[in-house]
Structure 1
Amino acid sequence: MYPEKPFVLFGTGSSDIVYARQGSVAKKVQSIFPSRCHLFRVPIRFHDSGMQHKNKLCRARGVVFTLLGAACAYLMNRRILYVYENGIGAINLPYRASAVGLEHSRSVHPLTLLRVGDVVSELLGEEFRMQNPFLFWTKAEMCKALAKDARNDLPPLTMSCDSPHRQQPVQCGYCSSCLLRRQALAAIGIEDKTRYVVLHGNRPVGDSSLNLCHMLVQVNTLRHLLSILDEPSFQWEALTREFPVLDDIVDRSAAAENILPADMQGRLIQLYRTYVSEWDVVESLIAEGLLNKHGDQQALGRCWVTAQQG
């Protein structure tokens, strides 16, 4: 989008596997945009880590990554860190009313980025901002550039899986992050050459359709809310009654996004409208990938019933 600009890519983490993948992705990006992209990384290592108590939730992990990225930007004499995440994943609305949110990452949520920016600004004694340029884009919209340039060789290099497997294939294909990845590539009509456990490995133990069911519940809820009349104000009222956090996002971050609150409401409505329309096109295709070769119709049926009951 900006051929005249150089980009500094920043990576971190404690996993050697992820660290190696960051390097291979960056190398490929650098070959496409020579002399425009530079990778800097700060590996996280622990002395005698086997002796330390482990917090399995890792709720603050994403914030640690953002803070390290901010330090890198500051050392590069910049006062802004760009975090590239689609709006669906960044806001990460709960799938259903009973969800308590423990498995929903908030590390690049608009309000989190505002708060982390405030912390960094306080530490530096000058304004520092975190910005997500793709807050109002779906993942499929972000991937359209891949389809335009016929670069279906790039997605398999990347990792989206929440719970990667130790054996091949590594990515499960049925966690919410894998499903959003598959949905995005299918929605733009690009061949997904990524190998997934659910499609190319041994069938996982347990119900691999559960995350899809939860996602379909949310899609069905959004579809219903956005079908209420054709007036944006009524649609926004319906959305915020179900998801109050959307009002908080607009109230607290419209100024940071440099847009009027009413315009931000409209862009968020369009974000979820686009997301629902994408699922309308690819829902059956993604669901089919979660069935065994004999056609587990009962698992698929549970998704439809659950979504209809909302």
Structure 2
Amino acid sequence: MEELRAGIAGFGIVGKKRQECIDKNPHIKLIAVCDEKLSGSGVINGQVKYHDNYKDLLKEDIDVLFVCMPNYMAPDVTIAGLEKSMHVFCEKPPGRNIGDIARVIGVEKQTTGKLMYGFNHRYHDSVQKAGEIISSGKFGKIINMRGVYGKSKLVTFNQTQWRTQHDLAGGGVLLDQGIHMVDLMRLFAGDFSQVYSFISNSYWGYDVEDNAYALMKTNSGIVAMLNSSATQWRHQFKLDITLEKGAIILSGILSGSKSYGDEILTVISADTINDNGNPKEKIYKYNQDYSWDREVEYFINSIVNESCIEQGSSQDAYDTMQLVSKIYSADMEWSEHNSSYYE
């Protein structure tokens, strides 16, 4: 087929990262971008057109749109792309709340373009290896999971201040960062039917949360504990998965900031009779992050091969957002004052 023509709405840190992935893929070429920090319209390096707003970008002859916009804009830009019969890839989160993603899905059903959401952590080596081990059944079924994903403040790594404003962001550290951990827990355990939580913004004092603590249970009995934190002074990503005959520990994750430590997967083989709490371990350490390229490759291949999107579909995004909403709503005091944001 002919080379696909791509546009990027939102040409900041993430948008430029997506450009790198596009440039490596033989099936697609970047022809235009937009960002509010750009002035007017013009051409970058004599090849890529630029605009300072997404409406002008969507006037270009684009087949594939990458949406790297703030939470309050992402749903509208995604819808605008779908209505022009474009294939759309949108970064997480899909919006500020369930209502945003529901609006997008309503339009998606009436259009022909493919839609995928960027839950990038699914494509990390350690996560994919963990998924293979769990699916193999070698260690039996999952018993429980404990996850911590935290950073030292709400706005880090040159991020912008809109993330601290409820009407623009829709949520704080849980929606911005913790959603990755929520998504992985869903990926490994399935849907959670019972949710209990405490939500807090007592430290930084913004009108979005700086800590979320959740205790969740699936219908099959898997229990998960989660802390999504903006008061984790040493940045941390850790997910412990306990199974019937062993355990998997995901510790650290490769990122642009390199602040979450080495990406390490520890596989524990339990011998409940002989190891006396000191089981054998096998450690996998990963030093290259291929997740961004893999994710874009998966999306482009689904277009080229006309195959279904099974990872990062709009239904995936809806279900993950629904669980995030349940975590917010389970804290009665928090939801009483913020209910309109989680409907």
What TM-score, normalized by structure 2, do the two folds share?
A: 0.31
Structure having the larger proportion of residues in strand: 2
Structure having the larger proportion of residues in helix: 1
